[in-house]
Amino acid sequence: MKLTRTRMRVGSFALLLILLTLWELAVHAAGISALVLPAPSAVAHSLWMGLSTGYLWPHILATSLELLLGLSVGCAIGFASGLAMAESKLLQGLLKPYIIVSQVIPKLALMPLFIVWFGFGMTSTVVITALICFFPLMENTVTSLQQVDPQRLELFRMLGATRRQTLLRLKLPAGLPGILAGLRVAVVLALVGAVVGEFIGASKGLGALIIASQGMMDTPLMFAVLVVIAVLGLALYQVTLSFEKWLLKPYTQTP
């Protein structure tokens, strides 16, 4: 049997159904308390209630907003500083140690400080999300721009291209696939940043809701929120993939 894409998808979905059924049966058979491991049906019920009563929506909205704000700010700064460091050896030499230090410190360890600086709530979470997204984009931008084929650089010199033209017409297009790979990593990390940031620094958002559901001993709700986070992450990843595919069209399409 040939492994087509559709077959893989169907198989993948079937596996999910089997696992959920086994889970459901196991929970009922073993009589596990919903506090420890709720059955999928209980999670689905909790999820449906949360969505239909509108209880979940403000939290989803808050997390999405933090995610998008943090992602845009972090990626913009990451790209800009990557560009600056790739173009200037001086800047790279000066800034690199600081950037590495800022990245080896666990971001979460900074959250209490951010709460002191920016207050309890959205700003702190956005800052931490941005800080997390910044690094992969900067690293990939620097590496991609510096790995341009030397013969192509000589070609541009040969043709009398200015530094600006070499950047815009050679280095950036040549580095685009690498930069977009960094964006993909940043998107995944951004969701982690937003949710974990909310654990500590927010009263609204999906991360805060997980902590709240733990306090309320509402484990089905906790699972429901995890499902929402997973869906949000998948959706965002798919959007990024489509964006990447669209940008890289000239690199891949066969007219």
Partner 1 sequence: MRRRAVPKANSTAVRSTEGSPVSFLAIDNVSFTYPLWPPVVRAVDWDIAEGEFHCLVGRSGCGKTTLLKLAAGLLHPDTGSIRLQGTELRAPGPQLGFVFQSPTLLEWHRVIDNVLLPVSLQHPPTPLEIGKAEQLLTLLGLSAHARHYPRQLSGGQQSRVALARALILEPALLLLDEPFAALDAITRGELQDDLLQMCSLRRTTVMFVTHDIAEAVYLGDRVAVMDRGRIVRDITIGVGKPRTPAMRYGAAFNSHCAQLREAMDMASA
Q: Return the number of the residue (96 or 249) whose C-beta is nearest partner 1.
A: 249
Q: What is the DSSP string of 92-148?
A: HHHHHHHHHHHHHS-HHHHHHHHHHHH-SSHHHHHHHHHHHHHHHHHHHHHHHHHTS
Q: Does 254 bind partner 1 (CB under 8 A)?
A: yes
For partner 1, the closer of residues 129 and 166 by Cβ is 166
Should residue 54 be labelled a site residue for partner 1 when binding is judged by CB under 8 A? no
Q: Which of residues 170-209 bind partner 1 (CB under 8 A)?
A: 170, 173-174, 176
Token pair listed for 194: 């937003």
Q: Does 250 bind partner 1 (CB under 8 A)?
A: yes
Strands (E), 119-230: none
156, HSE (Cβ side, Cα atoms, 13 Å):
17
Nearest residue to 192 via CA among 70, 16, 104: 70
Q: Which is nearer to partner 1, 144 or 213 (CB)?
A: 144
246 binds partner 1 (CB under 8 A): no
Closer residue to partner 1, CB minimum distance, 107 or 171:
171
Contact with partner 1 (CB under 8 A) among 91, 155, 234, 235: 155
Among 17, 36, 104, 158, contact with partner 1 (rule: CB under 8 A): 158
Taking the mean position of all CA atoms in its chain, how far away is CA 128?
12
| Contact present, 237 and 187 (Cβ < 8 Å) | yes
Number of residues that bind partner 1 (CB under 8 A): 22
CA pair distance 128, 130, nearest whole angstrom: 5
- Is 7 a binding residue for partner 1 by CB under 8 A? The answer is no
Choices 47-55, 65-73, 161-169, 217-225 (CB under 8 A): range interacting with partner 1: 161-169
Stretch of 163-171, 203-211, 221-229, 231-239 contacting partner 1, by CB under 8 A = 163-171
Q: Is residue 212 classed exposed, middle or buried when 0-12, 13-18 and 19+ CB atoms within 10 A define those classes?
A: middle
Residues 115-154 that bind partner 1 (CB under 8 A): 149, 151-152, 154
Scan for tokens 């993948």, then name that residue.
12
List of residues contacting partner 1 (CB under 8 A) = 149, 151-152, 154-161, 165, 169-170, 173-174, 176, 250-251, 253-255
